[in-house]
Amino acid sequence: MRRNTAVFVAALSLGCASGGYVDGSPAAPAVGSSAGPDGGGEIDITLLMVGDAGWAKADDPVLDRVAAHASERPDRTVVVFLGDNVYPDGLAAVGSPDRERGEHILKAQLRVGRKSGALTGRGARLVFVPGNHDWDRSRPNGWEEVLGQGRFLVSNGAELLPAGGCPGPSVVDVGSQVRIVALDTQWWLHGEAKPQDPTSECGVDSEIEILDSLGVALEAPESRQVVVVGHHPLASTGRHAGYFEWKDHIFPLRNVAKWMWLPLPIIGSVYPLMRRLGVTAQDMSGSENRHMRQALDSVFAIYRPLIYASGHDHSLQVLKGETARYFLVSGASTIGHFSAVGREARTRYARAATGFMRLDFTTDRRVRLGVFTVDERGTETEEYSVWLDTR
């Protein structure tokens, strides 16, 4: 009995996570629509980071608040959807019984652009990045579903980057201050058919080509700050990094259905422990995932981007980095879809809550990050803000 208890306590100590606010910072002064504080420069471009919105409904409060931010200056705003755009299995093929449901989910996200352009007739630019669920949860048909989602988004005035199941990088320069570099990280982790050398039509379709092209993309002109976006995090303290809350150890069946409050202590700790042992490529402990992160970080260490932003973990996180200067996780952008998060020494902010992130780039080369939580009533709170260190 004592041995079983010891195992249970040890399991709880491995990666137990908090559901609440972890760290904070004095609020950075807000940037005005025409000029920054202290006589600073105007906003050149705004990026809104929206992740894992694949359960979206037309009236989702988080997306309504994203649209409100995008409406401030739609001609200078880019909304980046960070993957898992359609849960649970991506956008089904035309003619499938599930196709209509998937289209409704994407249209709920596309409304952000239409709402932001309600007065001008021209909304914010919408960029979608593929996630593992958009690849049919890594199933054999995943590549076809990514192709189909890309066609649907383009026909509705948005973009899927990288397109065609290609790994990227796709480079988009916006305004005069920012370079967005988009990666399809699921390409690295997908064990089924995908565009790959020597048979694909992608300009870049092998690991060495990806890393060479990424280095070229990161060597941006000095006038531009580089923001790399992909679905899978390179740094995180969420579930995909092995952080689980005590309820996962005692009530493990809630991972199958939220209402299954059947206590299974000790046995319940097997699931979190297995996740830490690398049973899936979708977790940071997986061998394919580790290889991908090491490869990308090897390039970041030479050509250091300002930000790497991702979703995948259903939380809001800001972490100080060594390769990228900052790692952002914004993977909780529909009401009720969030999970527990832990902390590390490099954590600057972490919260198990729904919301999104905003990055304002000013003409005098300053960058302000704001993290916004949104509750089911649509109440928005800027819980964290900071002027980023761009040196």
pLDDT at 146 over 70: yes
Do residues 147 and 160 lie in contact, with contact meaning Cβ atoms separated by under 8 Å?
A: no
Tell me the helix, strand and coil percentages in the chain, rounded to 5. Answer: 30, 20, 50
pLDDT at position 254 is 55
pLDDT tens figures, 381-390: 999 999 999 9
Give the pLDDT mean for 76-94.
97
* Average per-residue pLDDT for the chain: 86
Please indicate whether residue 246 or residue 178 has the higher confidence score (pLDDT): 178
pLDDT tens figures, 197-256: 888 999 999 999 999 999 999 997 888 999 999 999 999 998 867 786 656 645 554 555
pLDDT at position 242 is 72
pLDDT at position 50 is 98
In the chain, domain spans: 2-387
Separation in Å, CA 297 to CA 103, 227, 235, 316 = 35, 14, 10, 21
pLDDT at position 40 is 64
pLDDT tens figures, 357-384: 999 999 999 999 999 999 999 999 999 9
pLDDT at 37 over 50: no
pLDDT at position 3 is 43
DSSP string, 83-145: S--STTT--PPTT-TTHHHHHHHHHHHHHHHHHHTTTTS---EEEE---TTTTGGG-TTHHHH
Please indicate whether residue 176 or residue 267 has the higher confidence score (pLDDT): 176
pLDDT at position 255 is 57
Reported as a pLDDT band with limits 50, 70 and 90, residue 112 is very high
- Of 19-28, 63-72, 200-209, minimum mean pLDDT range: 19-28
Contacts (Cβ under 8 Å, ≥6 apart) of 335 = 60, 61, 62, 354, 374, 375, 376
pLDDT at 285 over 50: yes
Give the pLDDT mean for 280-285.
87
pLDDT at 65 over 70: yes
pLDDT at 28 over 70: no
Which CATH homologous superfamily contains domain 2-387? Metallo-dependent phosphatases (3.60.21.10)
